[in-house]
A and B are shown apart, each in its own frame.
Chain A
């Protein structure tokens, strides 16, 4: 197991109130999995990450990361994981390559070893031409690639990425995704990333763990979650609103369009059209709707992820 958590809890106490950021997370992540922790801002994803990376001690509960206990052997965890935090890993005034060498040496490599490894990860992320630049002269996407490179220097088996594409423009975001997916293929790593972008969770991850108010509220493949929790719909726009009365079975009306829940929208659409045609209802537009992960979140919480943020 790459990650096992048992009843992980973290409270933040301020003068007036106690914020229960993580309220008891039990989660297993196997070796080689690619998992996205999806949830709105403030759901507790970062707090969970900070506990798994030993930056923050849990209030209660335990976790094993890369085979080491986060409380009893934090150095063991640190030696075995790569962490790409929400902020930039490389210092503003340091050359990219120097920071990579420092990172290698921080993990116990000799200077020669660390230098060779720095050059390898520079090549891996297409950063060679930027080796002598300082991060404050790089674009957002380039900086993010540097951050990822920093997490790879010591060849960790597990890489944790906290919102890797937040704040990037769509082009840079796509580029970062591509790099992460390629890493997985080439290096056979376990990847855990957190995100509040539905598209990111959907596109990248094989497994999506949805987190809200400090709890895991759903866990499965994106397809499974969609099928089980939201389901397909077909949308039919009728010529006359009055015809709605002639539709058999339950539906939701949105203006002159009706939404009908079905197990498989693509298969159900022609059948529904035939039936309505036979009943004399004129349909002017028809669409098979596959649910998004936002629909899943909506079904679970009654809120949209974007609104909840």
Chain B
């Protein structure tokens, strides 16, 4: 009961500034659409049919990578300011601090995903409702794990925050590019495909593509699901522990 209430307190705090500023909200939500239209159209002319079926799940995975990084960054700002510290000196449940922030990220991701799917449908994307729902569920689980890990990184980067930037900047590009999100890896050299195979994000991407094509029985779905659940579990366990330990900087 207290946990749910505390989660809602944190969630509504996080969501309020966006809701108070609808114009920025619309632009933020619409930004991936722009990416979809510009980049997707480019692919459409170069690779021919089936592009949207291939590209839409990719762009959703990419958003699922970018969102949590932003969430970690906003936590980092609050850690270096004093607002996180002030929340730590309230009886607010520590896990709720994590989950409430995650909830905002998740809802943003789902709303953006629905928008993207809707727009893509007008461009020739074929909708498999069951597959898309399952895909979004998997992305949500994966996103919760990534956000939590991003929060852990922000907490560990105290007090300068430098570590956060070093890690995210070095990880983001390889993780994104070497997962075949934007361009297919199949055409790359062997070493690139080998790196792609150990990239956990690749499994999510493959699973998403299978689900968005309505292929539930593809083994990649199982693999992707396992990766998502594993990342979520690790993220939540480590994240809660870090939150409990709290903000421990300064002498």
Interface residues of A (CB under 8 A from B): 12, 19, 21, 42, 44, 46-47, 50, 53-56, 75, 78-79, 81, 83, 85-95, 98-99, 102-103, 105-108, 147, 150, 154
- Complex interface: stretch among B87-95, B101-109, B221-229: B87-95
In the complex where A89-B83, A106-B87, A106-B90 touch, is A50 in contact with B77 (Cβ < 8 A)? no
The complex places the Cα of A104 from the Cα of B57 at a distance, in Å, of: 41
- Which 8 residue pairs are nearest across A and B when measured between Cβ atoms? A87-B82, A89-B86, A106-B90, A91-B83, A83-B89, A75-B91, A105-B9, A102-B13
Closest approach, in angstroms, between the C-beta of B23 and any C-beta of chain A?
15
Flag if B92 contacts A106 (CB, 8 Å): yes
The residue on B at minimum CB distance from A132 is B20
Residue from B2, B77, B251 with most neighbouring chain A CB atoms (10 Å)? B251
Label chain B's interface by main secondary structure. Answer: helix
The reply to whether B88 and A79 form a contact with Cβ atoms under 8 Å apart is: no
B residues 35-87 near A (Cβ < 8 Å) are: 77-78, 80-83, 85-87
B233 interface contact, C-beta 8 A? no
Tell which of B17, B81, B91 touches A106, judged by Cβ atoms closer than 8 Å: B91
Residues on the B chain within 8 Å of A108, using CB:
2, 5, 91
Instruction: Name the residue in B82, B90, B250 with the highest tally of chain A Cβ atoms < 10 Å from its Cβ.
Output: B90
Contacting residue for A88 out of B9, B82, B92, B251, CB 8 A: B82
In the complex, are the beta carbons of B78 and A91 less than 8 A apart? yes
A182 to chain B, nearest CB (A): 22
B251's partner among A19, A75, A92, A150 (CB-CB below 8 A) is A19
Q: How far is the CA of A243 from the CA of B88 in the complex (A)?
A: 65
Are A42 and B83 closer than 8 Å at their CB atoms? no
Task: Find the B residue at minimum CB distance from A107.
Answer: B90
Look across to chain B and name the residue whose beta carbon is closest to the beta carbon of A110: B5
The reply to whether A54 and B89 form a contact with Cβ atoms under 8 Å apart is yes
Known pairs A19-B251, A87-B80 / 20 extra A-B pairs, C-beta < 8 Å: A12-B251, A46-B251, A50-B250, A53-B89, A56-B246, A78-B90, A81-B89, A85-B85, A86-B82, A89-B85, A91-B81, A91-B83, A92-B77, A95-B16, A99-B13, A99-B83, A103-B90, A106-B87, A106-B91, A154-B90
